[in-house]
A and B are shown apart, each in its own frame.
Chain A
Amino acid sequence: MKKVLIAALLALFLAPAGRALAAGDDALYLFNWSEYMPPQILEQFTKETGIKVVETTYDSNEAMYAKLKLLEGDGYDLAVPSAEYVNRMRKEGLLIPLDKSQLPNFKNLSPALLNNAFDPDNVYSVPYMWGTTGISLNTEKYPADAVTGYADLWKPEFKGDLMLPDEMRSVVGIGLKSLGYSINDVNPAHIEEAYELLKKLMPSVKIFDSGNPKQALLNNEVGVAALWNGEAYVINGENPKIVYVYPKEGTIKWMDNMVIPKGAKHVKNAHAFINFILRPDVAAQICEELGYATPNQAALELLPKEVRENPIVYPTAEQLKGSEYEDDLGADISLFEKVWTKLKTGN
């Protein structure tokens, strides 16, 4: 009796497991950050095209890259890497060039955000969302002009009240940028200089966090933080006294892009999906749901004015002066990594 019960329970459990495996030809295997594509958008796409979207997720570009590389892209039809990994995957032949004739909606994209160094002429990638890594400042604790650039983070009054992203590229980038160098500078002397400078910043840092920075700022655990603008936007909405500053040295920019991995089995469906996402109404809907900036010019006009004109999400050309994307560093990434290890084992 007991055994039958156990067997029945097991069968019950295993039924959904088996069900998940079949999707067939009319499918699209999407590899994405979790909840980065609203479920209702996926449903609408399936309803309009009959193509079923099967989504699996990753938590970092690095993990996604390692896996796609080991599998040579086999089984995944669409991924959403950030700029530096678009460049890396493109150079390593891990991506399929896009057929623009299947992407009539490509024209909706803002020209200012196309043709970047990480993928000239957008041969392999289409921008999905973009943003910046600036600085949030609690003006209840500090005067509004206490921070104008990354270099202000070193001010003694921020000691023990500072949060940085738990990301090597951003932190070393802040060091380089404060010195006036590019965030993609791989000159060992400049990196050493940045290390010496950052070493002095370490005692000020209370928290490294990129997963949940809202919590620390809103609960007043820290008063100043370098973070993604998407987080800053939410924080500002909850507490307008916490403002977002575009550093005067030029801000660090990021961009997530849709690409088709080499081993994709449903290349046509992937194009159909990209084209669908580029539709102004769809892009606007995604943007409203996620709160990040859309690169879609046509969609922008459909958005409410207070979103479209919010400088935290859509910076002005002036605020973007001197801004850069994090790009692939090749083997020189090791230099950055050594700095990171030394910084984090030094205190």
Chain B
Amino acid sequence: MTERSPFRNLAVAAVGGWLTVFVILPNLMTLATSFLSRGEVEFAILPITFSSYRELAGPEFLRMFLDSAWLALGAAMACLAIGYPFAYILARLSPKKRKLGLLFVIIPFWTNSLIRTYALITILNANGLLNKVLLGLGLISAPLDILYTETAVFIGLAYTLLPFMILPLYASIEKLDPRLIEAARDLGAGSFQTFFRVSLPLTLPGIVAGTMLVFLPALGMFYVPDVLGGSRSLLVGNFIRNQFLTARNWPLGSAASVLLTAIMALLLAVYYFCNKRVRREAAA
């Protein structure tokens, strides 16, 4: 019935066209480059080779990937832990208040991220605001070493990525029908049970979306970890940047990017199939 609808055709053509030209085509280019050789005058030259992938098989890339994945996962979990209750409370406010509340979540992020990260340094450093307040309150006797530790990196990442968790969560929690919760309560479910049996499953798509929108971009991110963590270890993002710019090894950089995408695709596929199975079992 919908096959001949002009709107359908327009939507499919617009989306398909856009993604083909600006996403699929450039990514095919990257894929092709990853099989070329490094050139000194030209960036990538024939012959075709697998040597870039062989180079990535060493322990360094694995190490970088695990470091990056650890930071991205930590950031996603921290954002989820902070963001879920926040979005939940926000979505229960009056319609006017919740819109305004949402706007005020995002407004700080319209300020340049570099300046915001520098402000975080001013707060976290040895003579910083945080230490001064804690010392002043007598909670600590010597300044805490937070800056240039993993804690600082997680604080920075959680800070930078929080809206990318809160907004999708909010959009999905907002539609949760309060009557369902009331019904669960009326049937004698405690608040704990109501949350885990009703609210959580119904908002799961939002949790998944938010986690992905935090985790996936965080994998390639290196600026915040570098500035707040002291840049002592290389992340996948640094490595790829170095290959393209400093080492001028475009095939290796492309291969690393392709590998990153492939690992992600694999993880998503695993998630997708597990999810399907769980659902089928739940339905059965």
Residues of A within 8 A of B (CB): 60, 62-63, 66, 69, 92, 166, 168, 202, 205-209, 211-212, 215, 219-221, 330-331, 333-334, 337, 340-342, 344-345, 347
Contacts and interface: CB of A to CB of B under 8 A. Distances in A.
Contacts of A206: 148, 230, 232
24 contacts: A62-B245, A62-B246, A62-B248, A168-B246, A205-B232, A206-B148, A206-B230, A211-B227, A212-B118, A212-B121, A219-B125, A219-B127, A220-B127, A221-B126, A221-B148, A333-B247, A333-B248, A334-B38, A334-B247, A337-B243, A337-B247, A341-B239, A344-B238, A345-B63
B245 A345 contact: no
Given A221-B148, A334-B38, A334-B249, A208 B230 contact: yes
B41 A221 contact: no
B247 A207 contact: no
A185 B129 CA distance: 46
Nearest to A212: B118
Contacts of A63: 245
Contacts of A330: 40
Contacts of B242: 168, 337, 340-341
A341 B233 CA distance: 9
Contact of A342 (B60, B247, B249): B60
Contacts of B246: 62, 168, 333, 337, 340
B245 A209 contact: no
A345 B125 contact: no
Interface residues of B, number: 33
A330 B248 CA distance: 10
Contacts of A331: 38, 40
A226 to B, nearest CB: 14
Interface in B123-144: 125-128
Contacts of B226: 166, 208
B75 interface: no
Contacts, number: 81
A166 B147 contact: no
Q: Which 6 A-B pairs have the closest CB atoms?
A: A62-B245, A337-B247, A207-B230, A208-B231, A344-B234, A345-B60
Contacts of B148: 206-207, 221
Contact of B147 (A208, A221, A333): A221
B259 interface: no
Contacts of B239: 341
B209 interface: no
Interface in B21-67: 38, 40-41, 43, 59-60, 63-64
B244 interface: yes
Contacts of A212: 118, 121, 227
Contacts of A211: 227
B231 A207 contact: yes
Interface of B is mostly: loop
B247 A60 contact: no
Contact of B126 (A168, A220, A333, A342): A220
A153 to B, nearest CB: 16
A219 B129 CA distance: 12
Contacts of A219: 125-128
Interface of A is mostly: helix
Contacts of B40: 330-331
Nearest to B245: A62
B125 A215 contact: yes
Contact of B125 (A62, A202, A221, A337): A221
A338 to B, nearest CB: 8
A207 B153 CA distance: 13
A334 B246 CA distance: 9
A66 B227 contact: no
Contacts of A209: 227, 230-231
Interface in B111-170: 118, 121, 125-128, 147-148
Given A168-B242, A208-B232, A221-B125, 15 more contacts: A66-B244, A205-B230, A208-B230, A215-B121, A215-B125, A219-B125, A219-B126, A219-B128, A220-B126, A331-B38, A333-B246, A334-B38, A341-B60, A342-B60, A345-B64
A221 B145 CA distance: 9
Listed residue (A63, A212, A342, A344) with the most chain B CB atoms within 10 angstroms of its CB: A344
Contacts of B232: 202, 205-208, 344, 347
B29 to A, nearest CB: 13
A116 to B, nearest CB: 22
Contacts of B128: 219
Given A166-B226, A221-B147, A342-B60, A337 B249 contact: yes
Interface string B245-274: 111110000000000000000000000000
Contacts of B59: 345
Contacts of B230: 205-209
A345 B233 contact: yes
Interface string B194-232: 000000000000000000000000000000001100111
Contacts of A60: 245
Nearest to A335: B247
Nearest to B127: A219
A345 B64 CA distance: 7
Contacts of B38: 331, 334
Contacts of A344: 232-234, 238
Nearest to A332: B40
Nearest to A338: B247
Contacts of B233: 344-345, 347
